[in-house]
Structure 1
């Protein structure tokens, strides 16, 4: 049973929008955003670049963090991302590699 939960932030290639979400499968959920599987904010604004994530072991804590981040000012989100990911690179490839090394199917 997977008890890992992730709060994540996506942006578009221009870094003009942020999408904050929570999931129990960061790789699958990011892939869904990239493939535009679901209609909504991230699909409409092309927010498919994973620039930030946090790991939680309790879904309640993850949801609380997601709700908090959604209320943050843009500047605060940018500062958080820059501390975690100074290059603003898409972390999708890295999480895919991590899943492969752990023996998970991707």
Structure 2
């Protein structure tokens, strides 16, 4: 039950955040600041696919493992970018927390 709840929370967050990559002008500015603006839409698509994959993974375990593992890696890279840019702890924590959350989901799904 806990795994399902955490999966739904993560999926909703990534779907919402993935949509914001295409609708939020602040997101464009943030990616320009990181000099990664050419990857913004690609990362948005990855987040939408990952969030959707988490939901599909509620019914198909390999999808849950692949999606949560991919999102954990994406958040690890995101955290690394935040650290490299010397963003503060508050700005860096969401990527770190979602990396941990999706790592847990991945390992819990593997051990099921």
More helix by share: 2
More strand by share: 1
**TM exceeds 0.5?**
no
